[in-house]
Amino acid sequence: MIARLRPIAVVAALSVLCGAPALAQEDSVLQRYDLAVENLEFAIASVPGDAVQARDELERAVNALLTLSRDTTSATLLTAMQRTFERARTAVDNQSRADLAVQAAVLRGGFRRLVADSAFTAGAASDRDTALARLTHIAQDMGFAAADLEALQAAGPSLGDLRLAFEAGAAQAIAAELTVAERLLPSDREAAYESLGTAYGDSLLIQDSPRADPDLNAALLRAAQALVQNDDEAFETATGDAAVHLSRLASAARAGEPGVPRPAAETPAAAAGGADAPAAAA
């Protein structure tokens, strides 16, 4: 009986995933997210060369930020992203594609956090379909492993079930991005830094989870500092520390562990785009 049901479950999961693009066309939150990411990509493509076009694209992304931020649960994320946009503008003025790419990677993670917050807001209002569609869209953009995508689709009926499944997949995807950064380091430091920026930006999705180690954010910042200082050994140590924290978070989420809630003042969301963030160190 189980063997007969398995293909049905797989087909159902694929149907939801294949329908995600259509859902994105109908969901204004996902539309704004997709446009913001596209604006960031166009800005990067315009540098060096067309600073006016790059700045125009950044301003369009800022407009999306102001709209998407209404559902955020982070009191500091909007301010932090605005600071990172300022650094992105500076990168355009300096005609530095590498700096802009790193900062855009962090901003993309911030936008993903905003969409995730909107998903959980919809779920809290008993709109589970919208919550799942938004989380699935982000999961696909992040490159969730197939097993984690399936787990997200098969999550239980509660909002907590969705959150746990998403956290587990996000932690694994971030860890995979760190592996990419480590692999790129010997041959392409700029690309390695961009991958680290992606990992840092995406960590905004989980950094205030009660299952996240308080040192996760600090480990990612140590990795950024080490890369800027050309200290490959310290970089590998820091990314290794972060990978361990991410692995433990994923395991805790899969096990449904409640974790240890931290007061808002202790969560590191304010570090996004802060003076020590990867975006600032490029």
Q: How far is residue 47's CA from residue 76's CA, in Å, rounded to a whole number?
A: 29
What was the pLDDT predicted at 10?
38
pLDDT of residue 39: 97
Q: Does residue 48 carry a pLDDT above 70?
A: yes
Residue with more model confidence, 281 or 178: 178
Residue pLDDT, tens place only, 2-15: 333 333 333 344 44
Instruction: Please say if the pLDDT value at position 45 is more than 80.
Output: yes
- The more confidently predicted of residues 70 and 103 is 103
* Confidence (pLDDT) at 71: 77
The per-residue DSSP string of 215-233 comes to HHHHHHHHHHHHHHTT-HH
Q: What is the pLDDT of residues 66-90, one digit of tens each?
A: 888 887 877 788 889 999 999 999 9
Six-digit token string for 105: 């990677």
Confidence of residue 65 (pLDDT cuts 50, 70, 90): confident
Query: Is pLDDT of 280 > 50?
Result: no
Residue 261 pLDDT = 78
Residue whose C-alpha is closest to residue 269's, from 175, 222, 194, 200? 200
What is the mean pLDDT of the segment spanning 22-42? 87
C-alpha–C-alpha distance, residues 93 and 251, integer Å: 44
b/e map 94-116, b = 16+ CB within 10 Å: eebbbbbbbbbbbbbbbbbbbbb
| Whole-number pLDDT of residue 278 | 63
The pTM (predicted TM-score) of the whole model is 0.86
Q: Which residue shows structure tokens 């799942």?
A: 132
Which pLDDT value is given to residue 264?
A: 55
Higher pLDDT, residue 265 or 141: 141
Over residues 195-223, the mean pLDDT reads 96
Whether 1 shows a pLDDT value over 60: the answer reads: no
Give the pLDDT of residue 5.
Answer: 35
Give the mean pLDDT of 79-105.
95
pLDDT of residue 66: 83
Residue 120 vs residues 115, 160, 163, 171, 258: alpha-carbon distances, Å = 9, 9, 8, 18, 17
What is the C-alpha separation between 151 and 164, in angstroms, rounded?
Answer: 10
pLDDT at 273: 41
Q: Indicate if the pLDDT at residue 187 is higher than 80.
A: yes
Question: What pLDDT does residue 102 have?
Answer: 96
Mean pLDDT of the chain: 87
**pLDDT of amino acid 205:** 96
Residue 206 — pLDDT band, cuts 50, 70, 90?
very high
Per-residue pLDDT, 7: 37
Please report the pLDDT score of residue 114 as a whole number: 95
